[in-house]
Amino acid sequence: MKICQSCLLNSNYRNIKFDKFGICNYCQTYNALEEKITAFDANGKLLEDRFNLFRGKYEYDCLVGISGGKDSSYVVYQLKNKYGLKILTFTFDNGFLTDYAKKNIELLVQKLKVDHFFYKPDWDIYKEFYRQSILHFGYPCPVCAYSSYAFSNKVAFEKRIPFCVHGRSPAQMFKELLNESLDPFLPFIWNNLSPYNTLTNKETAQKVIRKSDYFLKRFIPDPKLRKIFYKEFFPDKDSFEGVDQLPEFLGLFLYEKYDEASIKAVIARELGWLSSSDSKILTHSDCMIHDAAMFLYNQVFDYSLLSLELSVMIRQGNISREEGTKRLHLEKCLNAVPYESVSFLLNSCRLEIDQMKDIISKARRRHKLIRFGLRIQNKFKELGRNGAADPGKSEI
């Protein structure tokens, strides 16, 4: 197995290539785009211009989903105190929210006096989406990603809120930064880093919906179940396509430098935010099934989900490659089966622990075929461009 000489990505990662020095195309792409995505003074002006266009025009200036974690808590604090926005917050309670997270949510809402609601879907229906995701992908995370984005988009659209502001860190946003990326949310980044344009924003939103629709058809093959998902989480299609102005999905950490230690200090001091007992970077104490998801992902893909985010931090110079490797090895759930977490997840989704090996085996075969198909597809694209493409030259 080949590993990038700069980051932690290995040759099992989809669409990966290495140059003659052993540097992967993800590192090369990031290096080519670094100046643009770290121009915080210029990019911050883009954010202020957006807020100035819409501040006070509607009942709420922005919508923020909060999980009780540090990043989303900090986002709400900044939007209210730095930008003076009227904020509607919500928590998507997927059934796996920890008591620790709920306590931090309560503290934030009380301290900042923002409007907030919990959204808890019907578990008898919702667990089937997790079940299908595990059976198809081998792990549950796609359901969280698609349903939370879709629901926030739906709420903002129906309440005429111009912005959905999220707290994804750069390590999360840039982990699939590549022309050939399958990440459906990547188009938002380039929309966010350009001057606000109603038409461009609408085209971007529709592009993401189409990509989301493609993936949903893959992991929810039952059209009846898929129809329920659309009705529950997506805005009415005809209404969505029939208006000019759509909510923009904004990443706050595209506009200001991300510093985890500083973020924790600010929200602890200003909000009384409670830090978890786990002090390691890139922890998810707000999620009850985090260990299970990490383990399953690692078994299916032959690389850790954590390695993607650590690799971005290495490219940014926030940690060294050696420090990233050390942090990766601290994640005990990657190789040793976290039975309690896995059993809880599978049982919640009408699956048995005895099915785990079969689930992993089938998902591994499926993803190997996908990787092979992507290699063939990209080879044809390169031939169509009359020669090998320069992986460091981004067309994103």
- Please, what is the Cα angle at 141 between 27 and 66, to 5 degrees? 95
Whether 381 has a pLDDT exceeding 90, the answer reads no
Give pLDDT tens digits for 170-187.
999 999 999 878 888 899
Q: What is the CATH number of domain 40-254?
A: 3.40.50
Give pLDDT tens digits for 211-228.
888 888 888 888 999 999
Tokens representing 97 are 């929210």
- What pLDDT score was predicted for residue 395? 44
Give the mean pLDDT of 287-293.
Answer: 94
Whether 388 has a pLDDT exceeding 80, the answer reads no
Give the mean pLDDT of 299-307.
Answer: 94
What's the CA gap between 383 and 379, in Å, rounded? 6
Position 216, amino acid:
L
Please state the separation of Cα 280 from the chain's center in Å: 20
Whether 1 has a pLDDT exceeding 70, the answer reads yes
Within a 13 Å sphere around the CA of 128, how many CA atoms are in the beta-carbon half? 12
Instruction: Give the closest residue to 255 by CA, choosing from 194, 184, 338.
Output: 194
Which residue is it, tokens 């048995």? 352
Instruction: Give the closest residue to 40 by CA, choosing from 244, 305, 253, 332.
Output: 253
What is Dmax (Cα atoms) for the chain?
A: 60
Please give the radius of gyration of the chain, using alpha carbons only, rounded to the nearest integer: 21
- What pLDDT score was predicted for residue 391? 40
Tokens representing 52 are 């100035």
What's the CA gap between 267 and 73, in Å, rounded? 7
Whether 392 has a pLDDT exceeding 50, the answer reads no
| 199 C-beta neighbours (distance < 10 Å), count | 9
The ranges assigned to domains in the chain are: 40-254
- What pLDDT score was predicted for residue 109? 97
What's the CA gap between 193 and 230, in Å, rounded? 29
Give pLDDT tens digits for 122-146.
998 999 999 999 999 999 999 998 8
pTM of the model: 0.92
Whether 339 has a pLDDT exceeding 90, the answer reads yes
- What pLDDT score was predicted for residue 211? 84
Whether 386 has a pLDDT exceeding 70, the answer reads no
Determine which of 98-107, 144-153, 306-315 has the lowest per-residue pLDDT on average.
Answer: 144-153
Give pLDDT tens digits for 13-50.
988 999 999 999 999 999 999 999 999 999 999 999 99
Whether 389 has a pLDDT exceeding 50, the answer reads no
Determine which of 185-189, 238-242, 249-253, 302-306 has the lowest per-residue pLDDT on average.
Answer: 238-242
DSSP reduced 3-state for 287: strand
Binning pLDDT at 50, 70 and 90, where does residue 315 land? very high
